[in-house]
Structure 1
Amino acid sequence: MDVDALRWFQQVADGATVTDVAAVEHVSQPGVSRALARLEREVGAPLLVRQGRLLRMTRAGTLFKRHVDAALHTLDDGVAAVEQLSDPESGTVHVRFERSLGAWLVPQLVRDFQREHPRVRLVLEPAPPGAEPDDPQVDVALTSRRPTGGTHRWRRLLTEPVLLAVPARHALVGRERVALTEVRHEPLVLLAAPAPFRGLVDGLLRAADAAATDGPTTAEPGGGWDVRFEVSDLATVQGLVAAGLGLALVPASAVDGRTEVLPLSDVGATRDVGVVWPSGGALLPSARLFLSHVADVVGRGHVAVAYG
């Protein structure tokens, strides 16, 4: 079987779209679709079924994926171990990243690393919904989530503001800063859980709810806010806001120009983005090269968050 097709199946099964996979792997969308179709023919059963924009696993796909995950992990470990014994510059690094970082931070880091280390192979994987940042199968993770156990380390790379996205003709457009209590009774569009950014948003909404002059409406996450839509990606969040269907909280790096964005005066309206890696010297040489590159690029200020 084609190893690339197995990897693409793995990513789609974990929640990535065919468009996501094509963009990350630098191949055409039809090419990804054809490879998945060939894989199904080789297995002899349908593995994926379309539901809206996403492909979901069938029963056969769920069973097959457990073996694909184990096989690819073993294969990657074996290839990496052999390659890096002789040449760290020819190893493989498994990099996982939050989807909201895939449009700006990941391309910048990968572009500059590949210029300096063109023979190191980077396996890029958008984080599946709810995935922990300390997955032992991942060499380096770019994430806003900190590991909870003692097996991995986390280092902050940068802090970006969380902004209020509003439609173009909203009454608040032009304000230098706004507090969430001022929009407490307006409809909202939220990124759906378990996206890490949703947890930050829920905390800000709870705090604004408690600080409101007319008292909190409820202690539940999101308070008494009028949540009209919950969607799986920030591009759709901003599309719904641009259509006038609500307001939203978005990280500055995800702003795409379709909405007006306003800085927030609320305490804690920022997101830390960091890098996670195994502690105790568990990284192979090529992964250490990439980790050092990430720290160096960000430390020199070559990666900056811009919006507006």
Structure 2
Amino acid sequence: MDLHALRSFQAVAEGATVTDAAAEARITQPALSRALKRLEDEVGAELFHRVGRILRLTPAGRVFKEYVDAVLDSYDRGCRAVAEVVDPEGGVVSLAFLHTLGTWLVPRLVTGFREAFPQTRFELHQADENGLAQRLLDSTADVIITSRDPGHPLITWRRLLVESLWLAVPVRHRLAQRQRVRLAEAAEEQFIVLKPGYGLRSVTETLCRQAGFSPLVGFEGEEVETLRGLVAAGLGVSLIPVSREASTAPDMNPDLPIRYLQVTDVQAARDIGIAWLASRTLPPAPQRFVDHARSVTADATAAPAPRG
């Protein structure tokens, strides 16, 4: 059985057109169509049916794909294991992480790791909380860095650090001259939040409920920097992560006139952790990265109040 044909089958089964899959495989579309037909002959069943211009899996195709995924994953891991035997200081770390951690924590961890293991390559992916867990389950990532325990029986999660959350308000806001605030005092404010599925969104909703109200959502974004910008524009308030490891105090940026207030009536913080599949032995390079991440963040805590 041709591994290239299996990869093309997998690509088409996951939604790629035959044209795109053929381009990825660097063969012609008719050649790919013939390869898929040979695969069906070998399996002894029709694997696809056509819906307009799209190929959809048949029931037999859905069953077959589960085994194809397992075969290709096992083959790829075998190749990686051999490569790491040949070059034990190298290897590949496939790492997925929250968007909000791409500005400070992930660069810090990757930079420190590569100083010790400069030959290691990284494959980096960003996703929301649900997408991160799925990347582990799909074996498209070795390790994820996320803001909460996925709570899945097949996933092992370990806390790395605790990140403080501060109430960000515009500089001309009625609370802007304060240093501390009860979150309940913002119950009537418009909240600028991330979209559902992002960890910071669920943490914000949980903290507001603990403070006795449901947040009035004024805007849903996909990046924390967008939240900061809209707060600075006076469109609402937001719970923003501020960590000791951040490169600069965000409220010192003259382009973002924001004040950050310490929240006193609820424990405004979120866990940041690292996770991997419990049922799978990590290859050497990802295991070294997990050990590195846990070591350099040991006893890390949230930042003191931002300056400004």
Query: Are residues 289 and 177 of structure 1, via their aligned partners in 2, closer, same or farther at CA, if it must alter by over 3 Å?
Result: same
Q: Residue in 2 aligned with 1:96? A: 96
Is 2:229 the partner of 1:226?
Answer: no
> Please, which runs of 5 or more residues in structure 2 have no aligned partner?
1-10, 12-22, 30-51, 57-64
Q: Which has more radius of gyration?
A: 2
Q: CA RMSD in A?
A: 3.6
Q: Greater CA deviation, 274-283 or 107-116?
A: 274-283
Identical residues among aligned pairs (%): 36
Give the TM-score normalised by structure 2: 0.68
Superposition pairs for residues 102-113 of structure 1, below 5 Å? Answer: 102-113=102-113
Please state if 1:207 is matched with 2:210: yes
Query: What's the CA shift for 1:305?
Result: 4.8
1:244 to 234, 241, 244: 234
SS in 2 for 1:288: helix
User: CA 1:164–1:92 in 2, change beyond 3 Å: closer, same or farther?
Assistant: same
Kindly state the Cα deviation for residue 184 of structure 1 after the two structures are TM-superposed. Answer: 1.1
Q: Secondary structure at the match of 2:206?
A: helix
User: What's the counterpart of residue 84 of structure 2?
Assistant: 84
Three-state SS of the structure 2 residue aligned to 1:209 is: coil
Checking the alignment, whether the CA contact within 8 Å between 2:170 and 2:233 is kept in structure 1 is: yes
TM-fit CA distance, 1:150: 2.7
Judging changes above 3 Å, is the alpha-carbon distance between structure 1 residues 62 and 304 closer, same or farther for their aligned structure 2 residues? farther
Structure 1 unaligned spans of 5+: 1-9, 11-37, 45-58, 211-222
Residue 152 of structure 1 corresponds to which residue in structure 2?
155
User: What is the aligned partner in structure 2 of residue 270 from structure 1?
Assistant: 269
Matched pairs, number = 244
* Counterpart residue identity of residue 264, structure 2: S
Do the aligned partners of 2:163 and 2:242 also contact (CA within 8 Å) in 1? yes
Q: Is the 2:170–2:234 contact (alpha carbons within 8 Å) kept by the matching residues of 1?
A: yes
In structure 2, relative to structure 1, the CA distance for the partners of 1:185 and 1:60 (3 Å cut) is farther
Task: Assess if the C-alpha contact under 8 Å between 2:183 and 2:266 holds in 1.
Answer: no
Kindly provide the amino acid, as one letter, of the partner of residue 229 in structure 2.
G
* Alpha-carbon distance in 2 for matches of 1:273, 1:128: 14
Q: Is the 8 A contact 2:143 2:274 kept in 1?
A: yes
Q: 1:101 to 1:60 in 2, by over 3 A?
A: farther
Match status 1:283 vs 2:286: no
| Structure 1 residue 188, shift from structure 2 partner | 1.6
**C-alpha contact (below 8 Å) 1:161/1:263 kept by paired residues:** no
Q: Which amino acid aligns with 1:95?
A: L
TM-superposed deviation, 1:281: 6.0
1:284 is displaced (CA, Å) by: 0.9
TM-score norm. by structure 1 comes to 0.68
2:225 to 207, 231, 235: 235
Segments of 4+ in structure 1 off by > 6 A? 41-44, 59-63
CA contact (8 A) 1:76 1:92 kept: no
Question: Using a 3 Å threshold, how does the CA distance of structure 1 residues 256 and 146 change in structure 2: closer, same or farther?
Answer: same
